[in-house]
Chains A and B, each alone.
Chain A
């Protein structure tokens, strides 16, 4: 039996008296398409931060391809193939889109230890960066500064950077958050077309997206896994409807 791409075992985290993550178990098989849903404050982003190493868990383990990475640094996890996007863009705003990508590839391959060669000397890096931009149809913006792009395009750069890390596990934290609904389909098409080899966990509030994209859904409520199952099971689960979908229908649980 091969290990799952990502395995989270009985993860706990408290901020003082506030127990924001309680005994969370979560598994992503290779090529998984899992959605993580739940009302605001359920601890979804905290879970992503625990998995990626921004936060350290109080108890529990995180396994990447069967290796225990609970205590490894965030950067080391990234180098081992765990990538994420942020709910709010975290980009190199003063640099061009192409540089954002080239730097990511440089750090991935260890080129950035080199202090002597010029950054543009490796044509393969530039070509790969442009390939990623073309696959997301933002190659026209390659030489624009990130801060000059509309927010929706910046969201695509955010995804392009994650893809340039060549991840085996990708955590998407509300990829369409803050994007006008007229443009969000562009981002969701990209998400739907991602490499089937990559195991993906997506946090999303739009139920249409969740039910279209995910093969498995985990529902979190108040820091703990409430239930999980296929989209069909979740849709017909009365309790889930009560705690989450009911609210969603009244547009209470939206943020972004």
Chain B
């Protein structure tokens, strides 16, 4: 029986099983296209040596968009207040160096991440009982509350004038910050790579699978016995921590921070980046944040008053014609090419 099936080209039961299993087993393997964004990032260091500060800002925004992807793209938590955690990280680093003299950069961003993650766990525990519009409003309210509290105590936070002239120790005690941001660019790139590695593991873990389950059908998750609330709070805290690390890097990159980091604009911007790039697909944050930042830079030089028109047009086009974002287009192109290769 089995032999005749093999002769007619039909897969045997064992072969079919092995093929199905292989899909799950090998899903998290690294594939060569994943090297592309990293190689480009390294190439930029050599090609644009005079744009390294801008480059660092792009890397920071990639990390921020990445943190949002974990909750929005994978767990399906819609938030317009993620800047809250970015801001907490940014201010943790700023206040640590200014008030406590804690100016070692690496431990600084780790502290920023931990504080933001802790706040994320507490806030998440309260607000993640809700979904949809209620949750959306609560996330906005939380970020606004933080911003106004900061404004109330502008003696500590510097208010909207900010805390300028922050200084940090050399990275690892060896590489000092230079005027052109070369050190900072490489430092941010390494930090991004470390964060990326963690998130990638989470996304492909059983926990990450459960998150996609919650996104796909929360009723079913309850019915199969998943502790949905705990899963959501956990990933919210992790995401907040990453946003906090990004915020800390932001402060170190600019040597300066103001309360505008908590702006609603900032929360909305990072969501636009992610939608443009593609949600729930790891590298969407890379494409989205880079395209957004480069276009913003280009358009604002072209027309300082109307630069948002270009970004708006891009968003409309993506939402209308590329529902899965720019990365979705890249995936479609890849699928089309590989289909043509083997007819």
Q: Which of A84, A102, A112, A161 contacts B24 (CB 8 A)?
A: A102
A113 to B25, CA, bound (A): 18
Pick from B57-65, B215-223, B286-294, B300-308 the stretch touching chain A: B215-223
A194 interface hit (Cβ, 8 Å): no
Chain A residue at minimal CB-CB distance from B213? A103
Contacting pair A95 B206 (CB below 8 A): no
| Chain A residues positioned under 8 Å from B206 (CB to CB) | 103, 106, 111-114, 117, 119
Most buried by A among B13, B27, B227: B227
A104 to B210, CA, bound (A): 9
A86 to B212, CA, bound (A): 20
Pick from B14-22, B87-95, B333-341 the stretch touching chain A: B14-22
Pick from B33-41, B188-196, B197-205 the stretch touching chain A: B197-205
B284 interface hit (Cβ, 8 Å): no
B46 interface hit (Cβ, 8 Å): no
Chain A residue at minimal CB-CB distance from B219? A90
Pick from A120-128, A148-156, A236-244 the stretch touching chain B: A120-128
| Chain B residues positioned under 8 Å from A142 (CB to CB) | 16, 20
Q: How distant is B28 from chain A, measured CB to nearest CB, in Å?
A: 4
Contacting pair A75 B201 (CB below 8 A): no
Contacting pair A76 B225 (CB below 8 A): yes
Contacting pair A78 B224 (CB below 8 A): yes
Contacting residues of chain B (147-198) with chain A, CB-CB under 8 angstroms: none
A interface, size bucket? 35 or more
| Chain A residues positioned under 8 Å from B234 (CB to CB) | 115
A188 interface hit (Cβ, 8 Å): no
| Chain A residues positioned under 8 Å from B28 (CB to CB) | 118-120
Q: How distant is A107 from chain B, measured CB to nearest CB, in Å?
A: 5
Contacting pair A118 B204 (CB below 8 A): yes
Chain B residue at minimal CB-CB distance from A53? B222
Contacting pair B201 A92 (CB below 8 A): no
Instruction: Sample 30 A-B pairs with CB under 8 A, ordered by A number.
Output: A52-B223, A54-B222, A75-B222, A79-B225, A83-B223, A83-B224, A86-B219, A90-B219, A90-B223, A91-B217, A92-B216, A94-B212, A95-B213, A102-B209, A103-B209, A103-B210, A107-B221, A107-B226, A112-B209, A112-B231, A113-B206, A113-B207, A115-B234, A116-B202, A116-B205, A118-B25, A118-B204, A126-B25, A130-B17, A161-B220
- Give me the 8 closest cross-chain CB pairs, A-B, nearest first: A78-B225, A120-B24, A92-B216, A120-B25, A79-B225, A142-B20, A112-B210, A115-B207
